[in-house]
Structure 1
């Protein structure tokens, strides 16, 4: 099994489509439905035997959750904050612009 190239809290962008996002979970290999997988056109359908990332994603029009293969992601080095409304539920923005897991208070 391959080690994930990207990590939780990292901002990435899609290699083919105009969206970016922050990683909030990683599957070591494909873990979605066959129906979802088969809906991807053959010419751009990724391999299943690689990490897949759950993103708080955004494009120029909207915010959403995306599930993307490692082969289709690139590091986003723009330094722009991610505007997805759920970012604050999972992450804190650090002074250097990166994102770290939000600290959980224990009672």
Structure 2
């Protein structure tokens, strides 16, 4: 049986993409890669591991979401407000600028 690595980040964590520098907010976590092989071949140019956690992320200041391997993420301590059209649908703001998920997505 394969060992499943525990996710380092949880929904509501503000992250920064190590390679592309954008700020994001995690809204769901997959224990392992769960998109199509075609998506991986086209989008995952650095070929991150598929057997580690992957994250569904709201991109700050944009209207789209993205899917990112854990290896490409780091915690972001930037406290400016977060801007995404799905934010209020998925989260409630908490004291100190944290976000609490409105429901379990996955």
**Range into which the TM-score falls when normalised by the shorter chain:** 0.7 to 0.9
SS in 1 for 2:74: strand
Q: 1:19-41, CA deviations, whole angstroms, 9 ceiling, x for partnerless residues?
A: 12111110000000101111133
Instruction: Please say if 1:34 is aligned against 2:37.
Output: yes
TM-score of the aligned structures, taking structure 1 as reference length: 0.86
Based on CA coordinates, which of the two structures has the bigger radius of gyration?
A: 1
Count of residues paired in the alignment:
99
The answer for unaligned runs of 5 or more in structure 1 is: none
Q: TM-score, normalised by structure 2?
A: 0.87
Question: Displaced runs of 4+ in structure 1, greater than 3 A?
Answer: none
Pairwise CA RMSD: 1.4
CA offset at residue 66 of structure 1? 0.4
Which residue is equivalent to 2:51?
49
Structure 2: gaps (5+ residues): none
